[in-house]
Each structure stands twice: as C-alpha cells, then as structure tokens.
Chains A and B, each alone.
Chain A
Amino acid sequence: MPVIATVTGATGFLGRRLVHSLLEENDLIVRCLLRESSDTDALYENVPVIARERIEIHRGELNDKKFVEEHFANSDVVYHLAAALGGSASTMFLNTVIPTRQLLETAARVNVGRFVLISSMGVYGTQTVKRWGTLDESTPVDPMPEKRDPYTFSKVRQETVAQELSESLGLPLVIVRPGVIYGPGRSAVTSRVGLPLGPMVIRMGGGQQLPYTFVENCAEGIKLAGLTPDMSGEIFNLVDDDLPTGKRILRLMKQQGQRIRTLWIPRGAIGPLSRIYEWYSNWSEGQLPPVLTRHKCEAMWKPLRYSNAKAKHKLNWKPKISTEDGLQQTIAG
C-alpha cells in the first residue's frame, strides 16, 4: 500500500516545494487540499509526468468538516502548512488557529497516522537565552506572545491548541519550527534584517546571525518530520548551516547590482531606542503604534546562535543547498 501524505497549503511558497520533495519518495501519494481559487501551475512545474500521477487534487474549504474528513481518511500523515501570513491578530487567529483546531479534531476522528504542524521559530522567547547563547528546542516558548506581532501570537496559540488536542485525542503530533524561509520569489530582506521605511530599510544591527532556511532545505526537513518513524511528540527547529547576517545579505544584493538604501541602527542603540519609542507609544495612547518595543526587539534582533542539531541527528536532515547558493538564487530572483 502506498503511503498517503495529505498537504494543506500545497500551492504556497513552501507547500509546492514540500510536494516536490515528497514526490521524490517512491510509493507515496501526495493528496493536496486546495481552495477553488488556488492555481496549480507552480505545483506541477518541473514535476515529471510520471510523478504527476501521484498528485491528487481535492478542492474545498478547510472549514468544511465533511470535505476535510473525507480527504483526511486513510492519510498516513497530514502536513498542515496552510496559514495566514498577514493581517490583524483576529484575522490571523481566524485563519490559522481556528482551522487548525478543526483539522486536528478531524484528524483524530479518522485516525490519521501523524499530524505534522508547521509552526515558526518565532515562537521562542529569547528572554532566557543570554546574548550570543544558543537557541534550540529546549528554549521556552515566549510567555507573552500577545506582546509580539499577530503572526507570532497566532503561531504560539496554534501550537498550544495542537499540543492540548494531541494529548486529549491521542493524535500523534510532530511540530516543525522553521526559521525565516527564503528562496526565489521571496525576498531575503525580512524584518529580521531591518524595518522598511518608505524606500529605505532601517538595518537593525547587522552582525547577528539570522535564523534562515532556504525553502528547499526546509521542505526536505518537513518531509522527514512526517516520514521518519517514531517521532511522535517531537519538536524540530529547521535552520540552515552557515547562517547569514543582515550585513552579508545586503552586501550580496549590492554586489549583484541591486540598489537598496539602508539606514543603520547600531546594535547598542536598538535597546535604548526601543525603550523611548515604547514609552512614547504608551504615553500617546497609540498615536504611534507599538511596533518597536523592548520585547519585540529582544525577540527579533538579540544576537543569538541557532541550533539545527536535533533535526540533523534525529531526522538525518542535511541542508542540501548552502546559504551562499541559496542567497545567490534568491537575489537572482
């Protein structure tokens, strides 16, 4: 019997790479649950005709319990990638947390073999890690996620819900926490590098490591988290080797002829500036929104090291694309 791997969010930036990675496995069927409006062109791109036969497309809404139940049935593993990437906290919760709760309940009801939840490395609280210390799977999750951005807040809640339901319903669960996923089609200049201000980027520090993972490396790790035996209850961080710094990314972009204007905020100034900004935001009752707070700055730009040892050891994962190559491909577009 072939393994049935069901994927939500299969046409997304990461999802289609996961599908391609899964198709490298023999005797495996990839079942994609897509919205009516989802475009499948990129999903089939560069997939050999023979492998295309192993892609099942089912269209419907993830909040349609009947649709989900029908297609979760017989699934050996469900990879849940679908999530909102932007919007207010309520929008993020509505499109990320609430569907996840329903999917987990359905998965337990139809005895899915394993549920792989794609979370984010952003869920960690860095308060307990010293500067230049190592952040790994033993680092606690942020105890005050509501003080972070809506995406991180929704991801922390999504994990909590998943862990509670996994325990109460007896559903085998694996959580994968990728770092910042980049690759062709998505810029390498993210909020970890700095904040956009009109046509400029305010570079925050710049010498600290960034927890990045190239999209194809990340997809490979996620695949292994679903297929490697006896992983129930495990959590894996996915970041590449030889992690880049913001300075390195911006330098590479300039070397490749891209014009990017930056304003540098030295690392030592980030703390005091964030305190002043946070004070002003509170004093003015939100005349300027609290986008730059001490809590957020610590989480985003504190100089840390990021470990991928557990994924390498337990999943036998190895980032195939080097950071240098990944950045070159991304900047080239």
Chain B
Amino acid sequence: MPEPTHKLKIALLGCGQIADAHLSQIARIDSVEVVAVCDVHEDLAYQAAARFNVPKTYTNLDRMISEVRPDVVHITTPAHTHADLSIKLLNAGCHVYVEKPFTLDATESASVLAAVEFSNRSICVGHDQLFDPMWLRCRDWIQRGLIGKVGHIESILGYPIAGNFGALVAANPNHSVRKLPGGLFQNTISHPLYRITDLMDEDQPKIIGGWHTQPEYDFPTEMQLSFQGRTQSASLTFSTHIPPQRITRVYGSKGSLEIDIDAQTIRLNKIAKLPGAFAKLEVSWQHLRNASWNFANNCWRFAKADIHYFAGMKGLFETFYGSIQNGTDPPIPPHQIHRVTQLMDRIFDHCREQDGTSRINNVSTTPNQEVSKCL
C-alpha cells in the first residue's frame, strides 16, 4: 500500500565527517526536509545543525524519535553500531539509510534484513557510486550492448594512508576502524566491491589473493584480490601507494569501458575492426573521440552546475525517498546488500587464512571518542 506523498521528514544520527556529505546532498532534494540531527556529543550535533540549518538537535535517540517522528533516519555512526541502531529504528517505524559498510558481518546483516521484513519498513545502504552519473552511463552502455557480454571487471581504489582519515586511523591503535573484523578494508572496500558485484552474475565467486602489511604499519594496508566465476572474473585493488582514485574497467566481448568517478569520465574502447597497421590508427581515433566527448560532456555539465563530488549520493537518496513515497522496491535490493556483506566476510576470512592470522582485532562495542561519527 503506497504511503501518501508528503515532504518526508529526515533525521540524521551521528554528526561526523560523512554526515556533512549526507546533509549537503539532502539539502539539494526538494521533496524532503531534515528535521533533526542526533549525536552523543552535543557539540557535534550543534555544529551540523548550525551549518545546515537543521531546526533540532538531540543527544538521545529515543527522545529524537518520539519528538520528531522522522520518516527516514540516516545512520552515519561507526560501523560497529549499524546493526543495533538499524533494528531499533526499523522497529520504531522509521525507514533507514545506513552508511557503508552495512554491518560488521553477514550474521548482523541477516538480523537487520529480518527486521526490515518484520517491520515492513525500507532499508538502503550507502552504495552511492552505483548512482553516480558516470556509473549510470556505464550501465546504460552495457545494456545497449556497446561492449558485448561483460567478462572481466577491474576495480581500483587509491587510498593514501597519509590522507585525512587514513592518518587518523594509522596514528591511533585504538581507532574503532582498526577494531573492525576487516580493519581499514572493512571501512573502505565496499565501494570498489559493489562496483564489481553490480556487474558480476555469480553471487559468491572463488577468491584468490590477500592483504599485505607495509613494514612501517602494524595493520594490513594493501589488498589485491581476484574473483573467479564460471563465465566472469574480476580484480580488486586497494592501494595506499597511489593518489585517491576510483577507477573501474569493464571488459566485454566487443570492447571495454573505463569509468573514472573522480574525473567524471567514461571511455569506450571497441575492438579494432580495421586490419594490421590501420587498426593502430583506428584505436587512436577512438581515444581522440573519447577525449572530445568527455571534454564536451563535462563542459556542458559544468555549465549546468551538474558536477558534484557526491552526485551519486544524491541520486541514491532521491531514488530511495521516491521508493518510500511511491511504495516501490528500494533501490538496492536486500539480497544485494546481503551478498556484498557475505562476500566481505569471505574476503576477510580468506585474507586471514592466507596471512595465518586471526581477526585483525576484537570488535569494540564501546564508542571511541576519537571517532567523529560516534554514537
């Protein structure tokens, strides 16, 4: 039964750095309004409310729910709190948007998805790059058959450890991210992984590869994995040696696509049809056409003010809110959410097995005050 269309009341839980991205993108959507923010630290809630004109702040979740009765709550707290908070909010009658990673493991994921069924509410996970304009175009071109059947996907994440967040994690052995079952990777590989699962048919392919610890660190910082399915393969690279970048290459039977989410470019390379030396001219011509198309496209988008770092987030929010208002299926199907979580469990188990180690660390259920997203 579709719910009546009205301006959805949004609340946000956990006012750390990623909350800024959520609040700035929600502000761009006319069909909703942010009615409250909540954080255990009143100062964090205060700063978010002041900068984004949010009328109410809370330090107590129960009080926020009972007083503002939000339709949707965004959870932007540390990962180890996601499952309990999601279940609590679903049972309280709220639709829930959870930042990645969805939960600590597949057991928690199953519990949350069971609560979704039971409560008849919707849930969405922050797999926002699937709604980035370049990724949507990639999917469109694949569906139009421009590269034929997808056979291999290559997903790369550049993550300098000296960056803002990486440096915090590296400097503090008690940082909550270091205590996740998959350590730093649990907080970061969702994005490159779901870019693979979005195009890979096989739910749980064979995993080859592992993680690596640089000598100057006491936790794994590099990851190189290969996924082998029956008809498709994929590779995932997480590297702290290269500048920040989010690149995916999709190889098909007729050609390939390269999607650079940071540069907002997409390149279509078709298999050359001309013979011998002429093929070299044909491929170079394709590169020139790609460059011209991307330049013109980005100029046009810049003129329309359509270039935003978190464009995918806005797209996902709009689709999720629309599904709530129209009573349609949520944008990320629950089985896809669970699939990524299961795959992450298998990846971390596999890496530990290769490494001969037990869990990176015990999961802390105590909020760490040095983590901005604490609740």
Contacts and interface: CB of A to CB of B under 8 A. Distances in A.
Interface string B359-375: 00000000001101000
A146 B51 contact: yes
Contacts of A93: 41, 43-44, 47
Interface of A: 37, 61, 63, 87-91, 93-94, 97-98, 101, 146, 153-154, 157, 161, 283-287
Given A87-B164, A90-B17, A283-B305, 11 more contacts: A61-B370, A89-B47, A94-B44, A98-B44, A98-B369, A153-B47, A157-B43, A157-B46, A285-B28, A286-B24, A287-B302
Main DSSP-derived SS at the A contact region: helix
B19 interface: yes
Contacts of B20: 88-90
How many chain B residues sit at the interface, stated as a range, is: 20 to 34
A28 B102 CA distance: 54
Interface string B67-97: 0000000000000000000000000000000
Interface of B: 15-17, 19-20, 24, 27-28, 41, 43-44, 46-48, 50-51, 164, 171, 302, 305-308, 369-370, 372
Contacts of B28: 285
Nearest to A283: B305
Nearest to A99: B369
A97 B43 contact: yes
Contacts of A37: 171
19 contacts: A63-B370, A89-B20, A89-B47, A89-B48, A90-B17, A90-B44, A91-B17, A91-B372, A93-B43, A93-B44, A94-B44, A94-B370, A97-B43, A146-B50, A153-B50, A285-B28, A285-B305, A286-B308, A287-B302
A287 B314 CA distance: 13
A284 B51 contact: no
B56 to A, nearest CB: 16
Contact of A161 (B16, B43, B164, B171): B43
Contact of B308 (A61, A283, A285): A285
Contact of B19 (A90, A154, A287): A90
Contacts of B19: 90
Given A89-B20, A146-B51, A94 B171 contact: no
The 6 A-B residue pairs whose C-beta atoms are closest, nearest first, are A284-B305, A146-B50, A97-B43, A94-B372, A287-B305, A63-B369
